[in-house]
């Protein structure tokens, strides 16, 4: 999963401090592994350097100054490209796909299109493996089968998620 794209997409919903960004990330995606503050600030520094976010306010309180970050136009384009590009089909992609679907819903994009693009990429690889399997020897067939069954599991997840998009949208936006 790309942390910089995820934080960028969360910022698209409105400017935030690093602290709020970490809280929001943990609430949506941090079930197993909450983010460390160090990761958030290092990522924001990189995004700032690349012109994908900017500092839109600095608060001077009693403690250290607090910067509020906002996404730039280049940042929005970057999120758009990342969401529309299917992941290269590999095993155990589900966390990246889940993140993309949730972010598409949060940023008002077509989450079904994210799933459709991924399904097409997965089926294309299955097609290649199926062709290789029918033309190869038994060893080849067994190797291809292993990969095909794993892709099939991903595809089932894609199908089920497609059917549950409305409910997921309600939950992540609440």
Partner 1 sequence: MTGDAPLLTARDLSKAYGTTRALDGVSLDVRAGEILAVMGPSGSGKSTLMHCLAGIVRPDSGELRYRDRDLIAASDAERSALRRGEFGFVFQFGQLVPELTCLENVALPLRMEGVRRKEAERRAAYWLERLDVADVAGKRPGQASGGQGQRVAIARALVTEPSVVFADEPTGALDSLNGEMVMRLLTECAEQSRTAVVLVTHEPSVAAYSHREIVVRDGRIRTSAGSAR
Q: What is the binding site for partner 1 (CB under 8 A)? A: 112, 116-117, 119-120, 122-124, 126-130, 134, 148, 151-152, 155-156, 159, 162-163
The number of angstroms, rounded, from the C-alpha of 174 to the middle of its chain's C-alpha atoms is 19
Output 66 or 156, the one with its CB closest to partner 1. Answer: 156
Output 2 or 162, the one with its CB closest to partner 1. Answer: 162
Output 27 or 91, the one with its CB closest to partner 1. Answer: 91
Q: Least Å distance between CB 135 and partner 1?
A: 10
Measured CA angle at 122 (ends 78, 75), to 5 deg:
5
Output 59 or 110, the one with its CB closest to partner 1. Answer: 110
The strand pairing partners of 49, in sequence order, are: none
Q: Least Å distance between CB 15 and partner 1?
A: 35
For tokens 């994009």, the residue is 109
Q: Least Å distance between CB 93 and partner 1?
A: 15
First to last CA, the chain: 24
Length of the chain: 174
Q: Least Å distance between CB 84 and partner 1?
A: 13
CB atoms closer than 10 angstroms to residue 56 = 12
Rounded CA-CA distance 162/144 in Å is 27
Residue 137: φ, ψ to 5°: -90, -175
Output 59 or 159, the one with its CB closest to partner 1. Answer: 159
């Amino acid at each position: 999963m790309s942390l910089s794209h995820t934080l960028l997409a969360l910022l698209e919903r409105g400017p935030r401090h690093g602290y709020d960004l970490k809280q929001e990330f943990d609430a949506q995606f941090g079930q197993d592994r909450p983010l460390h503050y160090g990761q958030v600030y290092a990522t924001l520094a990189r995004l700032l350097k690349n012109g994908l976010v900017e500092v839109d306010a600095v608060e001077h309180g009693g403690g250290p100054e607090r910067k509020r970050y906002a996404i730039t136009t280049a940042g929005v384009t970057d999120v758009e490209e990342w969401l529309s590009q299917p992941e290269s089909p590999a095993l155990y992609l589900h966390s990246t796909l889940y993140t993309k679907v949730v972010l598409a819903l949060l940023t008002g994009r077509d989450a079904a299109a994210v799933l459709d693009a991924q399904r097409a990429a997965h089926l294309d690889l299955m097609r290649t493996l199926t062709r290789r399997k029918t033309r190869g020897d038994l060893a080849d067939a067994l190797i291809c089968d292993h990969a095909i069954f794993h892709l099939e599991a991903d595809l089932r997840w894609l199908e089920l998620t497609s059917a549950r998009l409305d409910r997921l949208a309600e939950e992540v936006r609440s």
